[in-house]
């Protein structure tokens, strides 16, 4: 790949990373404002005021809105016609280091077991990169999730007995949220995965978390369960800071897959109120469409891309 083009590719991914750390995606910010306006309990209202002020200060100063900019997790949907396929991994790694030093992001990555901080967010197996192929496309669909510590702590998956059924799924999710939700910076984004094994269910729960708020599973019975779980969790009323209030969640998304009749795998992944999730499409000429932060227009002083 031509050196100048490669530098442009690195800059795009680095700017995309910085943007994801500074600004919430459109759907999350809109939902937070909606929840803040609906909240009636005074303690919770005060917390929402602090959250909204924080979002505005971060945007005004161009600083990461939460100090925990997470471990960077990239999900690359690679068009089979994307011309720079071989470069994607090394470009993401280079952009991670660049963005960490320049934004700056918090250097979180510690090496396995030794716990030595690498200082750059790059390390053994980090950043996390997952590739999927998109046949017939010449684009790179790049998604980024900043996996913070507090909001990652509640994550778990388990294989239930099939007879435990939907009630077993609900119980597993509610127990997790009640036990750990207050520490994970509610209102929470809940991703649930339903599959055969512990790890596929966990992975599906992450895919669910990456879906925008308000979207539904295309499998009708699963979509119904999304609404039921959302309504139940909201009526538990954990609210910002875990002090109690009207609602608990930003949204509940479920990704399900046909499973073995003898197992019912369920996984849960939680995102905080500051769920930092970005999505861009990089075309084969390296032009970019911003999907997750459409309110930031190219050329807008606040838009880095």
Residues in 222-241 that interact with other proteins by CB under 8 A: 232, 235-238, 240-241
Measured from the CB atom, the residue of 116 and 294 that comes closer to other proteins is: 116
Q: Does 149 bind other proteins (CB under 8 A)?
A: yes
243, 263, 281, 302: residue in contact with other proteins (rule CB under 8 A): 243
Cis peptide before 16 (omega within 30 of 0): no
- The answer to whether 61 contacts other proteins (rule: CB under 8 A) is yes
Should residue 281 be labelled a site residue for other proteins when binding is judged by CB under 8 A? no
Q: List 133's β-bridge partners, or say none.
A: 78
Is 7 or 117 the residue whose CB approaches other proteins more closely? 117
Asked if 256 and 152 touch (Cβ cutoff 8 Å), the reply is no
Beta strands in the chain (DSSP E): 71-79, 128-134, 140-147, 156-160, 188-195, 249-256, 264-271, 277-282, 288-290
105 in contact with other proteins (CB under 8 A): yes
Question: Burial level of 163, CB count in 10 A (0-12/13-18/19+)?
Answer: exposed
Q: Is 68 in the site for other proteins (CB under 8 A)?
A: yes
Minimum distance, C-beta of residue 49 to other proteins, in the bound complex (Å): 9
Would you count residue 300 as binding other proteins (CB under 8 A)?
A: no
89 sits near other proteins (criterion: CB under 8 A): no
CB of 47 to other proteins, least distance (A): 5
CA-to-CA distance for 230 and 264, rounded, in angstroms? Answer: 21
Tokens 């071989």 correspond to: 86
CA distance 238 to 283: 42
Q: Does 65 bind other proteins (CB under 8 A)?
A: yes
Q: Which stretch binds other proteins (CB under 8 A): 77-85, 106-114, 136-144, 205-213?
A: 106-114
Contacting other proteins within 156-195 (CB under 8 A): 167, 170-171, 174-175, 178-179, 181-185
Nearer to other proteins, 78 or 184 (CB): 184
If binding is defined by CB under 8 A, does position 108 make contact with other proteins?
yes
DSSP codes of every residue in 17-31: HHHHHHS--HHHHHH
Residue 38 lies near other proteins (rule: CB under 8 A): no
User: Contact at 8 Å (CB) between 109 and 121?
Assistant: yes
Q: Which residue, 81 or 104, is less far from other proteins as judged by CB? A: 104
Place of tokens 């950043």: 127
Draw the binding track, 41-60, toward other proteins (x: CB under 8 A; -: no contact).
x-x--xx--xx-xx--xx--
Specify the residue for token string 């790059």.
122
| C-alpha dist (Å) from residue 178 to 211, 213, 235, 283 | 23, 21, 12, 43
Nearer Cβ to other proteins (24/290): 24
**H or E segment to which residue 53 belongs:** helix 42-61
Q: Are 34 and 40 in contact (CB under 8 A)?
A: no
How far apart (Å, rounded) are the C-alpha atoms in residues 7 and 294? 24
- Does position 217 bind other proteins by CB under 8 A? no
The residues that touch other proteins, with contacts defined as CB under 8 A, are 41, 43, 46-47, 50-51, 53-54, 57-58, 61, 63-69, 104-108, 110, 115-117, 119, 149-150, 153, 167, 170-171, 174-175, 178-179, 181-185, 232, 235-238, 240-245, 272-274
């Amino acid at each position: 790949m031509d050196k100048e083009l490669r530098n442009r590719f690195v800059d795009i991914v680095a700017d995309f990373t910085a943007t994801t750390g500074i600004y919430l995606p459109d759907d999350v910010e809109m939902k937070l404002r909606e929840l803040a306006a609906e909240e009636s309990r005074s303690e919770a209202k005060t917390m929402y005021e602090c959250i909204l002020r924080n979002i505005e200060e971060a945007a005004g100063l161009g600083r990461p809105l939460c100090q925990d900019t997470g471990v960077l997790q990239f999900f690359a949907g690679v068009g089979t016609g994307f011309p720079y396929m071989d470069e994607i991994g090394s470009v993401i790694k280079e952009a991670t280091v660049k963005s960490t030093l320049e934004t700056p992001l918090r250097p979180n990555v510690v090496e396995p077991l030794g716990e030595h901080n690498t200082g750059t967010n790059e390390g053994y197996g980090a950043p996390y990169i997952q590739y999927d192929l998109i046949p017939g496309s010449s684009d790179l669909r790049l998604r980024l999730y900043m996996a913070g510590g507090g909001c990652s702590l509640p994550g778990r998956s388990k294989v239930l007995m099939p007879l435990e059924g939907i009630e077993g799924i609900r119980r597993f999710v509610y127990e997790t949220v009640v036990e750990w939700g207050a520490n994970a910076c509610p209102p929470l984004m809940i991703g649930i995965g339903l599959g055969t094994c512990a790890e596929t269910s966990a992975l599906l729960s992450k895919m669910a978390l990456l879906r925008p708020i308000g979207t539904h599973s295309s499998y009708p019975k699963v979509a119904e369960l999304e609404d039921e779980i959302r309504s139940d969790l909201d009526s538990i009323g954990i609210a910002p800071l875990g002090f109690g209030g009207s609602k608990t969640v930003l949204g509940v998304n479920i990704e399900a897959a046909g499973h073995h009749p003898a197992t019912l795998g369920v996984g849960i992944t939680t995102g905080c109120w500051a769920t930092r999730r970005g999505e861009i499409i990089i075309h084969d000429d390296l032009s970019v469409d911003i999907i997750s932060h459409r309110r930031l227009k190219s050329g807008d002083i606040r838009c880095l891309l």
